[in-house]
Amino acid sequence: MISGPPAWPGASPDGRTGPEEGGGGVPVGLTSWGKAPGTGCAGGTGRAVGRRRQAVIGVETDRLVVVGLTARRARDPRLVGAKAAHLARAAEAGLPVLPGFVLVPAELLDSASPGETRAGGTRQGQGEVPDDALRDEQELRRAWRELSDDGLRPLVVRSSSAWEDAADSSLAGLFETVLDVRGWSDFTDAVRRVLRSARRTPAAAGRGPHADMAVLVQPMVRASVGGVMFGADPMAGRRDRVVISAVDGGPDRLVNGSVQGVRYHLTRHGRQVHTEPGEPRDARLLARGRQLRLLRLARDAQREFGGPQDIEFAFDADDRLWLFQTRPITALPPRPARRARLLGPGPVAETFPGVLQPLEEDLWLVPMAHGLSVALDIAGAAPRRRLRRVPPVTTVDGRAAADLRLLGAAPPSSRVLGFLNPAPAARRATAAWRMGRVRTTLPTLALDLTADVDRYLSELAAPAEMLSGRLLAAVSWGRTVLSALHAQESLAGAVLGQGSGATAVGEALAVLAEARADEPDDARLVARHPVLLSLLPPALGPRPPLPGRPALTGVPRGTAVLPTREGLRLRVRWVQEMQAAMVREMARRLTAAELLDDPVRIALLRWAELTAAADGKGLPADLPERLPRPQRPELPAAFRLADGRPVAEPGRRRAAADGQGAGGGFGSGTAWHGSGERPRFAVLVVRALDPALAPLLPGLTGLVAETGSVLSHLAVLAREYQVPTAVGVPDALDRFPAGTRLTVDGGTGAVEVVRMAAVGAPAAAPRGGADHTEGMAS
C-alpha cells in the first residue's frame, strides 16, 4: 500500500495530455451503463445530470460501478484489475485480506459478460443495473460510509489495472496510491487522482495505453511492522528460500525505496539462514512466531496461485497479520544446474576481448579448445572422457569463456574428494612421467614448430595473387597449426616458466615507441614490424588502429630473444592475421561474384559452410537473414550458465564497499547521474530508488543506489528490464562521478571502476588485446 511516482508527461498524438470525456478527468472507457458517453444513466436527465454530479463530488458516478471484494465478479482480473482480483481470490481462499470494494468502469463491466442472464430473467447489456453493482452517488456514498464508519476510519485508495501484477510484468509503483484518506471530499479526490494516473505513459513497460482503470478501496491499517515477502529468492533464483524485508510501520517506506529495512533469509521449513543487517535477539522486528506465520502465508498463497508470490503484508497493533497485495514474482532469474561448470573469461580474455562472430569462433576458438584439451590430457589435469565431452573453452553470447576448474584458475570444488579418490592421483603419476619428458623435449619441439610456421608464412604470396583454392588451403592449415601452437604454448607455461621475462607485448611497445614518429601509417608499420600485431586482437573485419605512441620503456631487442612461450604466442597471432587476410580476399571475390551483398557478412558463415561453398554447394539459403552477433557486456569474472545465461558466482566474502545485489545480471557502462546528456551505455547512479526514475530504466546497463531495498518497486522493475542493480552502495555519487567507467554485478552487488583512459579519450590497448567494448546489460 504505497504511493505511486509523480505523473510524467504522456501526451497523445493530438497534443492532449490524456483522453477525457465530458471534461471530468476520467479516461475514455469509463462510459455510462448501456448508454453513449455523456447521455447519463437510466432514469437520469442526460449530460446535464452527469455534469452536476461531477461538480458535486468530482467523480462521474454514473460511469462507475461498485463491486464488493466478496462478489463473484471481483475475482475477474479483466474487470477489476489484477491487484483487486488477486485479493478477492485470496480472501475466498481464507487468506487474511481486508474488506473493501472496487470502483469499476461501467462500460468494462457491461462488456465483461455480454448477454449473461441475471436474476430476474433480464440480460446484461440492456441498461439495467446488476444486483451486486451499485452505481449512483447515493449507493457509492453508502459503500464508503459502511467501509469508513461514516468517515471515522481512514481508507486506502489504490489503482487496480489489468496490466498491473501480471506474471511477466508487475508495473510496480507506476500508478497512484493514496493513503490515510478521511472524509467524503478527500475520498472522491483520491478516486480522481487514481483514475487520472491511468494517463501515465506505459512506454517504459512496452504496453499500450491504459484506458480502463479500476479503483480498489480498503480500510487503512495502523501497522506496527510491515514489509515485503518473496516466496522465492528473486536475486539468486532459489525456490527453496523465502526472503522477507521488514520495517517499523507500514511497508510503504520499504517499497518506495526510502529505507532498506531488515532482510531475513529463511528456508521453506523456517530455518533462519541469515539476517541483513544483524539485529539483537530481544529487539527483532520479526520474532520466531511472526516468521512462521509469514511462511505459512507464503505457502498458502503459492498453493492458491500456483507459484511463488511477491507479497506486501503488515502486522497491526493487535499483532494480526494482513495481506495487502500478492502478485507473481516477475523476472525470477534462472538458477544454474547443480553441476554446472564454473566459467570465466580470465584465461582467454586477453586473446579474445570482444564478441566473436561465427566464423571467427570456428577459425580461432575451436583450435584453441582442441590444443588446450591436448595439453590438459598430457598434464593429467582431467580424464580424457571429460575432455572429449566438455571443451575447456567455449563462447557465451559470442564472448570467449574458459572452464576455470579445468584450467586451474579456480580451486577444486572439494579438496576432500581428492584424498578419497585415488584415480586423480594415479592419473597425475602417469602424467608426471610424461611431463618430465615434455620438459626435456618441449624447447626443441617449440623451436621446430615456430620455424615451420615462419617458413610457411614467408612463402605465401599476397592474397590477391593466390587462387581461391590456395586461399582456403592456407586458412585450413592455420586451423591445424593453431591447435599445435596452443597446446605447446600451454605446456610451456606449465613446465618452462617465464624464461627471461620478456614478452611479445613489451617488445611491441618498445618498437612502437621508437618507430611511430617515423611512420604514422598503421598498415605500413605493421608490415614492417609484425610484432605489433600482439597489441591488437584478431578480427575478420577491419583491423583496429594501433595505440598512440607510448612512453619509451626500453629498446627493442627482436623477437628471437623471446622465451619459448612468448614466441609461440606471437606465432598464434601471426597465423590468425594470415587467416584474416585470406578470408577478406575470399569475401571480396564472393562479393564481386554477387554471392555476398557485403564482404563483412562472410563472418556470419561457419567453417563447414565456407568449405561447402568452395566445393560448389553454394552459400546457405538463410545467409541474407542472418544478423551479426551484437556487442554484449563483458562476462562476470566467474559464472555458471542457467538456460544459456551467465549467472555470476557469488564471492566467498563481500567487500565492505560493495552494495547488495538486486538482480538483473552483469553489465558495464558509463556512470550517469540522471542529468545532462545520457551516455550510450549508461549506468545510472542515484541517491535513492525514487519510483519517478522508472522511465529511465529501459536501455540502462546498470543501476547503482546509495540507499534503498532490493525489494523496492524500482528494483523490481529493474529486474524485469534486466538492468543490473546494486543498492546500498556507500557514497556512490561521490565515488563514481559522471563519466566513470563501471561494472555492476546485480548478483553480488559489486560495483567496480574500470581502470582505463577517460571515457571519450582514446584508450591504450590492454596487455595482449584491444580496448574492451562497452556493452549492454544482459
Instruction: Write the CATH number for 705.
Output: 3.50.30.10
Kindly state the percentage of the chain with pLDDT values over 90.
48
Does an H or E element contain 138, and which? helix 137-148
- Residue of 555, 559, 466 whose CA lies nearest to 512: 555
Tell which of 220, 240, 257 closes a domain.
Answer: 220
- Residue of 457, 471, 461 whose CA lies nearest to 589: 471
Does an H or E element contain 244, and which? strand 241-248
- Please report which confidence band the pLDDT of residue 597 belongs to, taking 50, 70 and 90 as the band edges: very high
Q: Which residues pair with 102 in a beta bridge?
A: 67, 216
What distance in Å separates the CA atoms of residue 346 and residue 351, rounded to the nearest whole number?
Answer: 10
Instruction: Write the CATH number for 228.
Output: 3.30.470.20
- Whole-number pLDDT of residue 450: 96
* 654 is a domain residue: yes
Question: Residue 774, CB half-sphere, CA atoms under 13 Å: how many?
Answer: 23
- Residue of 508, 561, 501 whose CA lies nearest to 530: 508
* 287 is a domain residue: yes
What distance in Å separates the CA atoms of residue 448 and residue 367, rounded to the nearest whole number?
Answer: 19
Q: Which range (280-289, 370-379, 511-520, 709-718) has the least confidence?
A: 709-718
Question: Residue 752, CB half-sphere, CA atoms under 13 Å: how many?
Answer: 15
Q: Are residues 186 and 300 in the same domain?
A: no
What distance in Å separates the CA atoms of residue 244 and residue 295, rounded to the nearest whole number?
Answer: 9
Most confident of 54-68, 138-152, 200-214: 138-152
Instruction: Write the CATH number for 30.
Output: 3.30.1490.20
Question: Do 112 and 88 form a contact (C-beta atoms < 8 A)?
Answer: no
Return the C-alpha cell found at 741: 567507467
What distance in Å separates the CA atoms of residue 3 and residue 172, rounded to the nearest whole number?
Answer: 11
Q: Are residues 569 and 428 in the same domain?
A: yes
* 216 is a domain residue: yes
Angle at 570 between CA 565 and CA 572, to 5 degrees: 95
Most confident of 70-74, 197-201, 559-563: 70-74
Which residue is associated with the grid cell 471530499?
185
Tell which of 220, 255, 273 closes a domain.
Answer: 220
Q: Are residues 296 and 432 in the same domain?
A: no
Mean model confidence pLDDT for the chain: 80
Q: Are residues 176 and 231 in the same domain?
A: no
One-letter amino acid for residue 371 of the chain: G
Q: Are residues 292 and 430 in the same domain?
A: no
3-state helix, strand, coil in the chain (%, to 5): 40, 15, 45
- Whole-number pLDDT of residue 111: 59
Which residue is associated with the grid cell 504511493?
3
Q: How far is residue 753 CA from its own chain's centroid? A: 19
Distances from the Cα of 431 to the Cα of 378, 387, 427, 567, angstroms: 6, 15, 6, 25
Question: Do 265 and 272 form a contact (C-beta atoms < 8 A)?
Answer: yes
Return the C-alpha cell found at 117: 442472464
- Residue 183, number of CB atoms within 10 A of its CB: 15
- Please report which confidence band the pLDDT of residue 427 belongs to, taking 50, 70 and 90 as the band edges: low
Tell which of 181, 203, 220 closes a domain.
Answer: 220
* 525 is a domain residue: no
Residue bearing the bigger pLDDT, 51 or 611: 611
* 635 is a domain residue: no
- Whole-number pLDDT of residue 57: 45
- Please report which confidence band the pLDDT of residue 413 belongs to, taking 50, 70 and 90 as the band edges: low
- pLDDT one-digit tens code per residue, 157-209: 999 987 665 554 555 557 889 999 999 999 999 999 998 887 764 544 444 44
Residue bearing the bigger pLDDT, 274 or 480: 480
Q: Are residues 315 and 405 in the same domain?
A: no
What distance in Å separates the CA atoms of residue 749 and residue 732, rounded to the nearest whole number?
Answer: 12
Residue bearing the bigger pLDDT, 303 or 113: 303
Which residue is associated with the grid cell 440480460?
123
Check pLDDT > 70 for residue 652: no
Residue bearing the bigger pLDDT, 35 or 159: 159
Average pLDDT over residues 572-594: 96
Distances from the Cα of 407 to the Cα of 49, 272, 374, 490, 494, angstroms: 80, 37, 12, 10, 11
Q: Are residues 210 and 237 in the same domain?
A: no
Kindly provide the b/e burial profile for residues 62-91, where b requires at least 16 CB atoms within 10 angstroms of the residue's own CB.
bbbbbbbbebebbbbbebbbbbbbbbbbbb
Q: Which residues pair with 685 in a beta bridge?
A: 704
- Please report which confidence band the pLDDT of residue 135 belongs to, taking 50, 70 and 90 as the band edges: very low
- Whole-number pLDDT of residue 411: 63
Q: Are residues 241 and 384 in the same domain?
A: no
Return the DSSP state at 361.
I
Q: How far is residue 271 CA from its own chain's centroid? A: 30
Does an H or E element contain 395, and which? strand 393-396
Give counts: helices (H), strands (E), the chain.
Answer: 21, 24
Q: Which residues pair with 105 in a beta bridge?
A: 64
Give Cβ neighbours of residue 284 (< 8 Å, ≥ 6 apart): none
Return the C-alpha cell found at 726: 546494486
- Whole-number pLDDT of residue 237: 80
Residue bearing the bigger pLDDT, 117 or 164: 164
- Whole-number pLDDT of residue 691: 67
- Whole-number pLDDT of residue 495: 83
- Please report which confidence band the pLDDT of residue 709 belongs to, taking 50, 70 and 90 as the band edges: confident
Rounded to 5 degrees, what are φ and ψ at 117?
-80, 130
Q: Are residues 347 and 324 in the same domain?
A: no
Which residue is associated with the grid cell 559489486?
750
- Please report which confidence band the pLDDT of residue 449 belongs to, taking 50, 70 and 90 as the band edges: very high
Question: Do 323 and 97 form a contact (C-beta atoms < 8 A)?
Answer: yes
Check pLDDT > 90 for residue 513: no
What distance in Å separates the CA atoms of residue 122 and residue 112, rounded to the nearest whole number?
Answer: 16
Q: At what angle do helices 366-379 and 422-459 cross, to 10 degrees?
A: 140
Average pLDDT over residues 535-554: 83
* 554 is a domain residue: no
Q: How far is residue 495 CA from its own chain's centroid? A: 41
Question: Do 134 and 142 form a contact (C-beta atoms < 8 A)?
Answer: yes
- Whole-number pLDDT of residue 42: 33
* 714 is a domain residue: yes
Residue bearing the bigger pLDDT, 12 or 78: 78
One-letter amino acid for residue 95 of the chain: L
Number of domains in the chain: 4
SS3 of 284-348: the string is: CCCCHHHHHHHHHHHHHHHHHHCCCEEEEEEEECCCCEEEEEEEECCCCCCCCCCCCCCEECHHH
- pLDDT one-digit tens code per residue, 661-698: 888 889 999 999 999 999 999 999 998 777 667 778 88
Return the DSSP state at 154.
-
Q: Are residues 276 and 371 in the same domain?
A: no
- Residue 465, number of CB atoms within 10 A of its CB: 9
Q: How far is residue 622 CA from its own chain's centroid? A: 30
The DSSP secondary structure of 189-218, one letter per residue, reads HHHHHHHHGGGS--GGGT-------EEEEE
- Residue of 108, 109, 87 whose CA lies nearest to 99: 87
- Whole-number pLDDT of residue 384: 86
- Please report which confidence band the pLDDT of residue 768 belongs to, taking 50, 70 and 90 as the band edges: very low
* 122 is a domain residue: yes
* Four-CA torsion 76, 82, 85, 90, nearest 10 degrees: 140
What distance in Å separates the CA atoms of residue 445 and residue 459, rounded to the nearest whole number?
Answer: 21
Q: Are residues 93 and 229 in the same domain?
A: no
Helix, strand or coil for residue 14? coil
- Residue 114, number of CB atoms within 10 A of its CB: 9
Q: Are residues 567 and 607 in the same domain?
A: yes
Range of the domain at 172: 1-220
